Structure 1
Amino acid sequence: MNAEQQRLAESDDPQAPWRRWGPYVSARQWGTVREDYSAAGDAWGYFPFGHAHRRVYRWGEDGLAGLCDLDGYLNLGLAVWNGQDDRLKERLFGLTNPQGNHGEDVKEYWWALEGTPTHSYARWLYRYPQSAFPYADLVATNAARGFADEEYELADTGVLEDDRFFDVEVTHAKATPDDLLVEITATNHGPDPAPLHLVPQLWFRNTWCWGEDVTRPVIRVGPHREGYAVLLAEHPELGTVRLTAEGNPDLLFCENETNFAALYGADAVPAGHTAYPKDSVDRAIVHGQADACNPERTGSKVGLWWQFAQVAPGASVTVRLRLTVGGTHTEEEQTFAEVLEQRRAETEEFYAAVLPEATAPEDALIARRAFAGLQWGKQLYRYDVPRWLAGDPGQPPPPPERADRHTGRNVHWRHLNLAEVISMPDEWEYPWFATWDLAFHCVALAHVDPAFAKSQLLLMCREWAMHPNGQLPAYEWNFGDVNPPVHPWAAWQVYAIDGCRDQAFLERIVLKMLLNFPWWVNRKDADGSNLFEGGFLGMDNVGLFDRSDQLPSGQRLEQADATAWMGSFCLRMLRMASELARHNPAWDEVATKFLVHFLAIAETMEDFGAGHDTLWDPEDEFFHDVLATEDGRAYRMPVRSMVGLLPLTGVAIVPDWVAAELPDLTDFFQGWTQRRPELADALLHTTTQGHSVRTLSMVSREQLAALVRRLLDEQEFLSPHGIRSLSAAHRDGLTVEFQGQELSLRYVPAESDSGMFGGNSNWRGPVWMPVNALLTDALRSYGRGAGAGMDVPFPTGATARVDLVEAARRIEQRLVGLFRPGPDGRRPGTPRHHPAGALWDAHPTFSEYFDGDTGAGLGASHQTGWTALVAHFVCAPDGISNR
């Protein structure tokens, strides 16, 4: 067991000492629902970027490369200034959803370079222009562009030409769980000398302005130590925390409180309010206000200011800080260099054990960068919905419209109260959890930190997150929205990656899913037909109309993907309950329940009506949504999209040991199918390697062959970089007339050209990592079960044929290929706006989704949430579906 593995063995508890401090500070707190107290729910407008450096946050903090304790009381983050900007660079800048021509859009460049699960070692890189940051230009130019135009990015402004930027690298290393080292190194890559100010900041989250706990923590100058600046941060919960900085930085003190005068005018300043509010450090450095900061050298926020008048081309400057819980210095501390080198070496040793021995160096880099992004993507998420709705006793009451039971945001989720470190989809563009995103994160996380992965899946099921009716929370903009039920699939993946040994985890998940499953059945199967009407289901913009819209009275949309999700839900529950029944026979009956429900769904999927109103179109050889009207008519939506491929995921191999170890389940299976022979169609038998394999499947062998043919067709779904979300056969568009309306869509490989969902989402062509992972997992199940011996052309039309397991592997290799350098050094998945050259090409970028033709990265640019599944493909090249 190596050193990091040993630390993990001591840290199964999310509150364990090695996890007590980490990079849990958000990259963006402004513009979130948590900070929105407006009447109409305009989160972007209520707390804009322009307020962030002057206005105190209620629920969290943000910053550059920030770290904090598990409760977020004390924060340490980086600020920089190039002598040109109109403000300190304390946080990342981007456009709000209304400002961007494709929705919210960060306008910065940074990369997570390294990260261990216990945060014993981490590195982060930020690319900072040497000229004034073009805030106004980015806002104005993007405002003039439409859906058909590309986004205007920072590199397009010209400020990064000739490499006129600093690379600012931040390294965290822990000597002990409560002894944290921070090294900040800035390198001038430009052709000329340039000034730089490095301003690490230490501050307490404001917990005293809201009327509940008025105790004020304080930061003050500590005892003198030659060659160092020493600060003592005193907090009633944390005790005394010492920050020691090498050298002689200027110390600038203020309070983490709002500058009312600057935001709202002098008349708005409350009586007795501090004269040294949150932006005092900014005013002292950038605006030269000598009296901006507290001359008493005390406060709840402090900036440590190093000034470098000219940094030569190619030269670097470095500052070092050490944060230690406990107010006294001990001479026995390891030196900075010793700790950094030891933790670096241990990180190499840890990942050598995680990655398969034969992993190519470039693939190892890809996986490690994905894992680093997951570690930096952990965020302390605080949101007490009842308190948020009611307002705080020390603040004016919020507008009553916010609590309106019909229109108020999240008013039906008053039980939700989270104060947890949670894996976020994206550091900046989605700095709030999304349950179905998180499920995919956990599959990748399980390779390096199975305890954290399991705790995250369970967290979404806890009584302070899951709704009393059994629904899982979707995301903070609308907890009641409907996301696909991928929790059971992810739970099984995590269980298997962890060695199929933690039955206690499996039991806890199954018990919670027994509460979630009835919500789906009761709420999304309106007439008990076993066809489901999920609505949104994550795949916004994939259909002819917004599936979240309320349909006219008497109409319902029977969804191929919703029904497939539920079939897959049943199979995962069947598999987990069977596993538990090996240790406790009481689970036999739970397994039987989900077997019966799956067979019913599979039968309905095959034939719930005659001819034109089935989900399967025998002429098109594809699954489609069906819109049923009040007069009994049904209209098939003839779109070939990911919706129609997802029935492939409703597959599972019945393990060999079931017949011997679970005789009750086996007897019931045989008896039930004898009494209801029509249900036996979902049980496919094949003989492989001399023995019979039983496979449960939502699709027949004929449907499987047809779907795989389309899946592997490069003129349809198979792109050079994975499976597209919409068939490229729709390049010229598709138009359907329905009740006097023309409904249309067109394959769009890149950014959305539709205003649906704000124009910031696109399932009309691009490649998305999570659904690709589901499909390749399913192909392996078919290849080892009912599809064994089924050879298919790869791609469709080719002479060479492969089995389905190999087809899955080749698709995953195309996905990993998004991040591999090409002959010119550039990676296909690099966003179009990233300049070329060694300084850029060295860094893989993990985008939200990828161009369906070229593979270029699109959408959110730090989606090492579900896009980190690429690390799963590297670490489990054979998949886990056979376990």
Structure 2
Amino acid sequence: MASSPQPPPSSSSPLLAEQHRLDEDTQRQRHWKRWGPYLSERAWGTVREDYSPHGTAWESFPHDHARSRAYRWNEDGIAGICDRHQMICFAVALWNGQDPILKERLFGLTSNEGNHGEDVKEYYFYLDSTPTHSYMKYLYKYPQTAFPYARLVEENRRRGRQALEFELVDSGIFDDNRYFDVFVEYAKATVEDLCIRIQIVNRGPEAATLTVLPTMWFRNTWSWGSDIRRPRLKQGQPTNQMSVIETNHDYYGKRRLLCEGQPPLLFTENETNTRRLYGDQDGAKYVKDSFHDYVVAGEKDTVNPDQIGTKAAAHYAFTLAPGATKTIRLRFTNEEQTPEFTKQDFDAVFDARLREANEFYDSLAPATLSEDARQVQRQAFAGLLWNKQFYHYDVNRWLKGDASMPEPPRERLKGRNVDWTHLYNGDVLSMPDKWEYPWYAAWDLAFHCIPLALVDPTFAKEQLVLMLREWYMHPNGQIPAYEWALGDVNPPVHAWAVWRVYKIDKKRHGVGDRRFLERCFHKLLLNFTWWVNRKDADGKNIFQGGFLGLDNIGVFDRSAPLPTGGRIEQSDATSWMAMYCLNMLTMALELARDNRTYEDVASKFFEHFVYICRAMNNIGGEKIELWDREDGFFYDVLHLPNGETRHMKVRSMVGLIPLFAVETLDSELIDSLPRFKHRMQWFIENRPDFAQHIEIRSYEGGVRRFLSLVGRDRLRSVLGYLLDEEEFLSPYGIRALSRYHRDHPYVLNVMGHEHRVDYEPAESSTGLFGGNSNWRGPVWFPVNYLLIESLQKFHYFLGDHYKVEYPTGSGHHATLSQVAAELSRRLTHIFLKDAAGKRPVFGGTTRFQNGQHWQNHIPFYEYFHGDNGAGIGASHQTGWTGLVAKLIQQSGE
């Protein structure tokens, strides 16, 4: 190995080394984030790779094609990294001598194969990462017997939606610990000098063989007709007992991958195997899956003997005794000269980076945090940082096809995303989950940015700004939802996220980034206008909006035409818009501190919020309101074509979202803005029918004005449901649907058809929205987080004297601040060990609960069982579940 520059010196300031790198990257002095974990876990089965007539993405590009077919838009791999433009990729491939295919990517079920939708069927964990990716660690658990691909498909297909999913651990493949732990670590010696350490541990009772292929390749950019330049990989001159792969790329120039131990090198092309897929006997010989043919099938002539190509690997094969560890060291560098470099020097780089990572995270964690809570928080941050991905999607080109490829079916020009031809994405983005959701989702991303802002506020701000740029945001002002339907409507939480990130950043640095706030505010004005013009059908300040990310929460699919005809007035859509008004009002007032012209627009949002408050309580005039006076709860209202209206009495998160729209205006701020204060006072005095929605209270030093969609008279009623353990209050947070519906399902008969909503605390029993998501009982982190924040805001105005029964019916009373803290505790304890040493997130999976090498590796699931806290859905939806890092930070538990 070659010597590398010493790491930045440590100092008495624990933040210095990693924070110094963050500062250098922010100021574009040194690009510490150029290389990172930006490689997807799955590129097959995505919309971008789908060129079928009718948008059948999973079938158009199945897993069976992935090893043989060149990707058009993005690459995937195991524990992979790449540059921020994904020109050069690196990942680890494995073969245990038994599998039918070389393990180059993670396997899972498609939406149609899984009994609860798409589902990854592997075990891998993001153990650590600094925000600059100066240190990263990943764990993959690889079985030693043949991977049960067919059995996983067949058993899950056989099971109905009422049954549990059949998981890899259920197959018995990990019995007797017959598996390898494959740890992959990265440490940056410099910006362009990456040390890679792969450690394989045999956890089994017997010796076992393994082939490891550390693989480097170029994303295929030359086959599509726009750029025919082909970069090259070739064998370099061996040096210091190392094999060398040389790279030559027009953008990045010459670099080398140094491979310890002089392993044999394999070369091929990142090109489609047309022989295998399409029966083309004249197809190229050296293709994407040549390493599979070489290693698994033993076809030695499938790799290029000239040692040149666009895909290359070092070939390590060995046998490990029980409990033994094998370490492979590699270095990827742009240095052409490589003087002597010892194992000790190499490991010293890892030791330094790990020490600096420890110092960085220790400085963030409250001193009172337990070791277990520190571990959970750090892995939550690691998941957020590992789930960054280079995301490439040019809708216009995707629809029309590439010049060198066959013309796509013309049906596509009337199908998915045809109204979004302006959209061009080519950035590193925060993903919900790089296997199940390897594409950005607008409202998911907004929540990701809250915990990300704790460790890297620059990246969090960049993510929020990107969604508002003209090549993302639609010309009409809509923010893109996700690639499956860019025009779907997500809850408008972007303004909330902008404000929260601004505040977190301000607290961290002592000064707010007004330029960031102002940039976002102006674009959000466009988005707010889109909402008002498109989703308020009657111009009455009551909004529709569709399913709003809550999938199957309603009686009907709210994103589709109603089987009854007519329309639904949505409690949640209207509440989200009221919250949006308050977010914009708060930002406008902050900006008005320096620029008084913002006082006028602040007045606009103040008045608009009050109009929504009024409409929320009077929709339908004498006919019906969103508030049900009999139950004391908010419901959606169904308007039928014959003029009939009725409450759809489903007690769900839809009726709790009104709590999100709450804010207090202190006189210290309002008195400094005389034009806004004058306009607000005029409105209160001259519109007394609206003024009832504004509560005013004096306190020592000034006056507070309280704006809330749920007034104090209705707050107790809603909280009575929220804090009832037989309704919404779970031991692990707030359920999305009241458990009341377990024994009292809501049933609506329409034209001879029964539509019903039952309490389902785990997976969905229907195929609505793919069946891989369920809002009929489980606990979801994003809405729980907003509930906690709202309760804190209510407490800020109402004070300690305002107490509620907690839990409902217990006789114990608590302030709203105490209730918020208790809800936060319930959520964080999903992941923490209980008195018996069990983590609720693992449910009844014995191996995870008791296994020595399993119990401390935390998957951050998409949502959680409403009764026992077990993780459900996407297993690495670290994005919004990563909010647990912020809750732990606040609790200091």
**TM-score interval (norm. to shorter):** over 0.9
CA distance in 1, matches of 2:97, 2:564: 62
Among 168, 173, 180, the alignment partner of 1:166 is 180
Task: Flag the 1:356–1:697 CA change in 2: closer, same or farther, 3 A.
Answer: same
Does residue 856 (structure 1) correspond to residue 870 (structure 2)? The answer is yes
Range with bigger deviation, 692-701 or 426-435: 692-701
Aligned position for 1:426: 433
Aligned position for 1:632: 643
CA distance in 1, matches of 2:782, 2:220: 38
Among 841, 847, 856, the alignment partner of 1:829 is 841
Among 486, 490, 513, the alignment partner of 1:502 is 513
Does residue 811 (structure 1) correspond to residue 820 (structure 2)? The answer is no
Give secondary structure in 2 for the equivalent of 1:220. Answer: strand
Q: How much does 1:470 deviate?
A: 0.2
Give secondary structure in 2 for the equivalent of 1:785. Answer: helix
In the TM superposition, 1:78-89 aligns within 5 A as 78-89=92-103
Tell me, yes or no, if the aligned pair for 2:194 and 2:332 is still in contact at 8 Å: yes
Tell me, yes or no, if the aligned pair for 1:825 and 1:841 is still in contact at 8 Å: no
CA distance in 1, matches of 2:339, 2:597: 57
Does residue 204 (structure 1) correspond to residue 218 (structure 2)? The answer is yes
Tell me, yes or no, if the aligned pair for 2:368 and 2:892 is still in contact at 8 Å: no
Among 450, 471, 479, the alignment partner of 1:464 is 471
CA distance in 1, matches of 2:826, 2:293: 50
Tell me, yes or no, if the aligned pair for 1:2 and 1:349 is still in contact at 8 Å: no
Aligned position for 1:438: 445
Aligned position for 2:247: 233
CA distance in 2, matches of 1:742, 1:332: 73
Give secondary structure in 1 for the equivalent of 2:568. Answer: strand
Among 522, 531, 548, the alignment partner of 2:542 is 531
Give secondary structure in 2 for the equivalent of 1:498. Answer: helix
Aligned position for 2:602: 591
Give secondary structure in 2 for the equivalent of 1:454. Answer: helix
Aligned position for 1:348: 358
Aligned position for 1:90: 104
Q: How much does 1:609 deviate?
A: 3.3
Aligned position for 1:840: 854
1:58-101 CA deviation, whole Å, 9 max, x = no partner?
Answer: 00100001101111010010011111001111100000000000
In the TM superposition, 1:243-254 aligns within 5 A as 243-254=257-268
Does residue 67 (structure 1) correspond to residue 81 (structure 2)? The answer is yes
In the TM superposition, 1:230-309 aligns within 5 A as 230-267=244-281, 269-270=282-283, 274-308=284-318
Task: Flag the 1:746–1:554 CA change in 2: closer, same or farther, 3 A.
Answer: closer
Give secondary structure in 2 for the equivalent of 1:18. Answer: coil
In the TM superposition, 1:581-620 aligns within 5 A as 581-610=592-621, 613-620=624-631
Tell me, yes or no, if the aligned pair for 1:717 and 1:723 is still in contact at 8 Å: yes
Task: Flag the 1:707–1:750 CA change in 2: closer, same or farther, 3 A.
Answer: same
Among 732, 735, 751, the alignment partner of 1:724 is 735
In the TM superposition, 1:366-377 aligns within 5 A as 366-377=376-387
In the TM superposition, 1:313-462 aligns within 5 A as 313-330=322-339, 335-404=345-414, 408-462=415-469
Give secondary structure in 2 for the equivalent of 1:874. Answer: helix
In the TM superposition, 1:28-43 aligns within 5 A as 28-43=42-57
Tell me, yes or no, if the aligned pair for 1:27 and 1:63 is still in contact at 8 Å: yes
CA distance in 2, matches of 1:534, 1:781: 26
Which residues of structure 1 form unaligned runs of 5+? none
CA distance in 2, matches of 1:460, 1:819: 31
CA distance in 2, matches of 1:839, 1:696: 51
CA distance in 2, matches of 1:94, 1:55: 18
CA distance in 2, matches of 1:824, 1:253: 52
Q: How much does 1:689 deviate?
A: 6.4
Tell me, yes or no, if the aligned pair for 1:683 and 1:697 is still in contact at 8 Å: yes
Which AA in structure 1 matches 2:586?
A: R
In the TM superposition, 1:5-20 aligns within 5 A as 5-12=19-26, 17-20=31-34
CA distance in 2, matches of 1:44, 1:27: 15
CA distance in 2, matches of 1:477, 1:692: 48
Task: Flag the 1:832–1:34 CA change in 2: closer, same or farther, 3 A.
Answer: farther
Task: Flag the 1:89–1:554 CA change in 2: closer, same or farther, 3 A.
Answer: closer
Which AA in structure 2 matches 1:437?
A: D
Tell me, yes or no, if the aligned pair for 1:169 and 1:184 is still in contact at 8 Å: yes
Range with bigger deviation, 241-250 or 22-31: 241-250
Tell me, yes or no, if the aligned pair for 2:666 and 2:702 is still in contact at 8 Å: no
Range with bigger deviation, 834-843 or 671-680: 834-843
CA distance in 2, matches of 1:848, 1:14: 35
Q: How much does 1:332 deviate?
A: 8.2
Range with bigger deviation, 357-366 or 635-644: 357-366
1:650-685 CA deviation, whole Å, 9 max, x = no partner?
Answer: 101113322321111111111011111111122123
1:276-314 CA deviation, whole Å, 9 max, x = no partner?
Answer: 111111111111112111000111101111111x21111
Which AA in structure 2 matches 1:171?
A: E
Q: How much does 1:335 deviate?
A: 2.0
Q: How much does 1:759 deviate?
A: 1.2
Does residue 577 (structure 1) correspond to residue 588 (structure 2)? The answer is yes
Range with bigger deviation, 803-812 or 493-502: 493-502
Give secondary structure in 2 for the equivalent of 1:10. Answer: helix
Which AA in structure 2 matches 1:673?
A: I
Give secondary structure in 1 for the equivalent of 2:390. Answer: strand
Q: How much does 1:631 deviate?
A: 3.5
Pairwise CA RMSD: 1.7
1:484-527 CA deviation, whole Å, 9 max, x = no partner?
Answer: 00001111111111126111111111111000001100100011
CA distance in 2, matches of 1:822, 1:782: 31
Range with bigger deviation, 862-871 or 347-356: 347-356
CA distance in 1, matches of 2:643, 2:688: 28
Give secondary structure in 2 for the equivalent of 1:585. Answer: coil
Aligned position for 1:679: 690
Which AA in structure 2 matches 1:646?
A: I
Does residue 869 (structure 1) correspond to residue 883 (structure 2)? The answer is yes
Which residues of structure 2 form unaligned runs of 5+? 1-14
Q: How much does 1:800 deviate?
A: 2.4
Aligned position for 2:724: 713
In the TM superposition, 1:561-572 aligns within 5 A as 561-572=572-583
1:378-409 CA deviation, whole Å, 9 max, x = no partner?
Answer: 000000110101100111111110012xxx11
Report the TM-score, using the length of structure 2 for normalisation.
0.96
Give secondary structure in 2 for the equivalent of 1:19. Answer: coil
Which AA in structure 2 matches 1:768?
A: W
1:576-625 CA deviation, whole Å, 9 max, x = no partner?
Answer: 00000001111111111100100100111122234551000011110000
Report the count of equivalent residues: 871
Aligned position for 1:522: 533
Tell me, yes or no, if the aligned pair for 1:447 and 1:875 is still in contact at 8 Å: no
Q: How much does 1:275 deviate?
A: 1.6
Which AA in structure 1 matches 2:19?
A: Q
Tell me, yes or no, if the aligned pair for 2:589 and 2:598 is still in contact at 8 Å: yes
Task: Flag the 1:749–1:688 CA change in 2: closer, same or farther, 3 A.
Answer: farther
Report the TM-score, using the length of structure 1 for normalisation.
0.97
Which AA in structure 1 matches 2:443?
A: W
1:830-856 CA deviation, whole Å, 9 max, x = no partner?
Answer: 254462322221112200000000100
CA distance in 2, matches of 1:160, 1:616: 53
1:527-560 CA deviation, whole Å, 9 max, x = no partner?
Answer: 1010000111000111111111113697121000
Among 129, 141, 149, the alignment partner of 2:155 is 141
Among 445, 470, 483, the alignment partner of 1:476 is 483
Q: How much does 1:196 deviate?
A: 1.0
Task: Flag the 1:286–1:15 CA change in 2: closer, same or farther, 3 A.
Answer: farther
Give secondary structure in 2 for the equivalent of 1:812. Answer: helix
Range with bigger deviation, 562-571 or 534-543: 534-543
Aligned position for 1:790: 802
1:179-231 CA deviation, whole Å, 9 max, x = no partner?
Answer: 00110001111111111111110101111111111111111111230211111
Task: Flag the 1:689–1:730 CA change in 2: closer, same or farther, 3 A.
Answer: farther
Range with bigger deviation, 791-800 or 595-604: 791-800
1:24-55 CA deviation, whole Å, 9 max, x = no partner?
Answer: 00000000000000001010001100011111
CA distance in 2, matches of 1:266, 1:410: 33
Tell me, yes or no, if the aligned pair for 1:606 and 1:616 is still in contact at 8 Å: yes
